[in-house]
Amino acid sequence: MRDLTSDGITPAVISTMRETKDPRLAEILGSLVRHLHDFVRDVELTEDEWAAGVDFLTRTGHTCTPTRQEFILLSDVLGVTMLVDALGNRRPAKATQNSVLGPYFREDRPRHADGADISGGLPGTPLFFEGEVVDRDGAPVPAAAVDVWHSDADGHYDMEVSGRTGPAMRALLRTDESGHFGFRSIRPSSYPIPGDGPVGELMSATDRSLMRPAHVHLLIEAPGFQRVTTMLFPADDPYLDTDPVFGVKESLVEPYETYAADAGPCHGLTEVPYTLLRRTFVLEPLPAG
């Protein structure tokens, strides 16, 4: 292994890993070295560019804290998060599709009873959510755990609302015997992904928008079924086609129906116009074995 050329260095590096015990690790590392070297050759990476890349990744690491994961955000904006999900969760079109989890899920969310108001008293257009969880044959899935979380009318999650510490606009619910669940909250708004770190620099250098379309997140789990990590977007949102994290799927776009206070299925429950969001979620069984 001497006098390696710019082509010969690739098999040389891979051959140093030939004793790797775990065959999957060997496959991943071999492919990583091949693609990384091909990339460097392809763009003829200069020393200054290599140093800039190392600095970018170093600062990405330094931006991470117990509550902020800049590497996952980088994965999100490079499409890697949704690509890994697409490969790992190939579901029939009728089943509810996944989207990104995002950084705003909190373990310390309150359990709420069916139909509860989870808004925490925050101002906004009232939102009524009526959900149903079924299996691929349309049979109800009772006692499914349903996590919901969303932003407020200004696009802030509870931890970002100034002066507020407790959870709001998030809940752990459970489906009833007929597979239904529901809650009341306020209508979420579109918001920018965090742009004050290295990922923000990358987005601005590539002239990309930080704005995510408005959405309600849901995470649904039931024994014997694949977990669904998803979100529902309003059909009239202006950012549907420029989502910086590539999480929008046509099947997750819903009409957020808007009614006057005295009209529609929830008439009389509010004194102001409200939004009604209704959705059936179809779970896939876990693979046999």
Exposed, middle or buried by CB within 10 Å (0-12, 13-18, 19+), for 175?
A: buried
**Cα Rg for the chain, rounded, in angstroms?**
23
170 touches, from Fe ion, ligand BEZ, none (C-beta below 5 to 8 Å by class): none
For the record, the structure tokens of 58 come out as 């170093």
Choose among 94, 134, 137, 103: nearest CA to 220: 134
Q: Residues 172, 146: contact at Cβ < 8 Å?
A: yes
State the number of binding residues for Fe ion (CB under 5 A).
1
193 binds ligand BEZ (CB under 6 A): yes
Q: Which positions from 41 through 80 interact with ligand BEZ, judged by CB under 6 A?
A: 73, 76
240 binds ligand BEZ (CB under 6 A): no
Q: Nearest residue by C-beta to ligand BEZ?
A: 102
The CA distance from 120 to 122, in Å, is: 6
CB of 212 to Fe ion, least distance (A): 6
Q: How many CB atoms lie within 10 A of CB 177?
A: 8
Q: Which positions from 76 through 135 interact with ligand BEZ, judged by CB under 6 A?
A: 76, 100, 102-104
Q: How many CB atoms lie within 10 A of CB 245?
A: 19
Q: Residues 123, 186: contact at Cβ < 8 Å?
A: yes
11 binds ligand BEZ (CB under 6 A): no
188 touches, from Fe ion, ligand BEZ, none (C-beta below 5 to 8 Å by class): none
148 binds ligand BEZ (CB under 6 A): no
CB of 3 to Fe ion, least distance (A): 53
Helix (H, G, I), strand (E, B) or coil at 29: helix
245 binds ligand BEZ (CB under 6 A): yes
212 binds ligand BEZ (CB under 6 A): yes
CB of 157 to Fe ion, least distance (A): 7
Per-residue binding string, Fe ion, 80-119, x by CB under 5 A, is ----------------------x-----------------
Q: How many CB atoms lie within 10 A of CB 146?
A: 21
Q: Residues 162, 137: contact at Cβ < 8 Å?
A: no
Q: Given the complex with ligand BEZ, which of 211 and 266 has the nearer CB atom? A: 211
Binding site for Fe ion (CB under 5 A): 102
Binding site for ligand BEZ (CB under 6 A): 73, 76, 100, 102-104, 193, 212, 245
